Amino acid sequence: MNRVEIVALPGDGIGPEVTSVAVDLLKVVCKQYNTELIVTELPFGGTCYEEYGSPVTEEILDKCIKAKFVLLGAVGGPQWDDLNPDKRPEAALLQLRKELGVFANLRPINVYPALSSASSLKKEILDGTDILIVRELTGGIYFGKPRYTSEENGDPFSVDTMKYSRSEVRRVAKVAFEAARLRDGRVCSVDKANVLESSRMWRKSVIELSEEYPDVELTHMLVDNCAMQIIRQPTQFDVMVTGNLFGDILSDAASMLTGSLGMLPSASIGGENGLYEPVHGSAPDIAGKGVANPLAAVASAALLCRYSLKLEAAAQQIESAIISVLEQGLRTADLFTEEPGTKLVGTEEIATALMEIVGKSVPQTD
Ligand code: NAD
């Protein structure tokens, strides 16, 4: 049996509730694929602040870096909103991403057939949607220098800089090409190359790299057209790769195709490191009530299997279990619409159903 160590950072609010479902399932599924998962659970965010006076400590960061693979719940809550910016739970998240050097953020946008009525778009437009958005996470206009505010002839102005180097583009594009190989073999690179210098560099660098991936089809799309195409015909996309600013906006727009925040997982990867977390926050309004939807956390665990543990079959097994639970009609409150054949359940019932499904569906390999 292989042994793999990961760190779990359940965090605040519903973080611990959804993370424990994901960790329990992950352990069981990994075992079926001959892998023993050793999970070290550490405080992070507001809970860490309460214990250590800081939302993350050097020791916790070191353990995450050493483990390389981190599963995170969520951080934040109203009780920590008035702290100094460096003491707020979100500061820990930014620091962790930086320390792990995770430069590519992957957000799969799957429309589960059982939930297609939960979206604001028509079912016939959504059916078959399966997009992977790869967003550059540590460069572009959010980090570019110079960045300042000044004044010209009494008129104040501000400057931000959108800068991309060839190497920055290549490393994130590589993630997209590699991911496409595990999917439908298509990459759409999104930029604004008709106007921006940095986008022309982006496009040129992606084209150069594509020569190493002759088996992957590469297309280009301008970001304004892309925003429209995501809504018009989302099924046309397989993997989309784009810069930090465009990816931020496009991934939020695309997330609404799925109809619920409680269903969206994410992976941030860089080198050998991977940080996996649901897109939703700590949902303080429902924390401790046993009603949180754990499926985004569980889907994040599937991504950990896929991108860090390289256990594709285990990833697919977890993803099929999510589909089965939805097909059984089980719905947490965020998804419940009183459709015939559906039943309102809590976090625990979803966890039990997932365990039953994975227990039945795969023969033990050891
Ligand atoms: P949120 O995502 O926590 O909640 C928004 C709404 O969605 C709430 O009504 C909540 O009950 C619901 N919701 C979210 N996840 C759910 C789930 N799994 N199951 C059922 N319902 C769910 O966003 P918010 O209310 O804007 O933020 C709350 C706190 O979370 C804030 O402190 C914010 O800073 C933090 N936050 C953290 C992260 C993160 O850790 N990555 C991301 C976003 C927000």
Mean pLDDT of 296-311: 96
CA 75 to centroid of ligand 1, rounded, Å: 9
Kindly report the average pLDDT of the chain as a whole number: 94
Q: Give tens-digit pLDDT for 241-273.
A: 999 999 999 998 898 888 777 889 999 999 999
pLDDT higher than 80, residue 2: yes
Q: E strand or H helix at 111, and its extent?
A: none
Does the pTM exceed 0.85? yes
pLDDT above 70 as % of the chain:
99
Ligand 1 pocket, residue 286 CB under 6 Å:
yes
Cβ of 77 below 6 Å from ligand 1: yes
Given 127, 224, 289, 343, the catalytic residue: 224
72 lines ligand 1 (CB under 6 A): no
Helices (H), the chain: 15-32, 46-52, 58-67, 89-100, 123-126, 166-181, 197-210, 223-232, 244-255, 295-303, 312-327, 347-361
Q: How confident is the model at residue 366 (pLDDT cuts 50, 70, 90)?
A: very low
Distance CA 264, CA 242 (A): 19
List pLDDT tens digits, range 141-195: 988 999 999 999 999 999 999 999 999 999 999 999 999 998 999 999 999 999 9
Task: Answer whether 264 contacts ligand 1 (Cβ < 6 A).
Answer: no
Among protein residues, the one whose CA lies closest to atom 16 of ligand 1 = 262
Q: Describe the crossing of helices 15-32 and 295-303 by its angle, rounded to 10 degrees.
A: 40
Q: How many angstroms does the Cα of residue 282 sit away from the middle of ligand 1?
A: 5
Query: Comparing 366 with 327, which gets the higher pLDDT?
Result: 327
The residue ranking higher by pLDDT, 359 or 117, is 359
For residue 285, indicate whether it is catalytic: no
Q: Is 127 a catalytic residue?
A: no
Which distant-in-sequence residues (6+ apart) come within 8 Å of 307 by Cβ?
106, 267, 269, 274
Q: Please write the tens of the pLDDT for every residue from 190-203.
A: 999 999 999 999 99
SS3 category, 330: strand
Cβ of 15 closer than 6 Å to ligand 1, yes or no, is: no
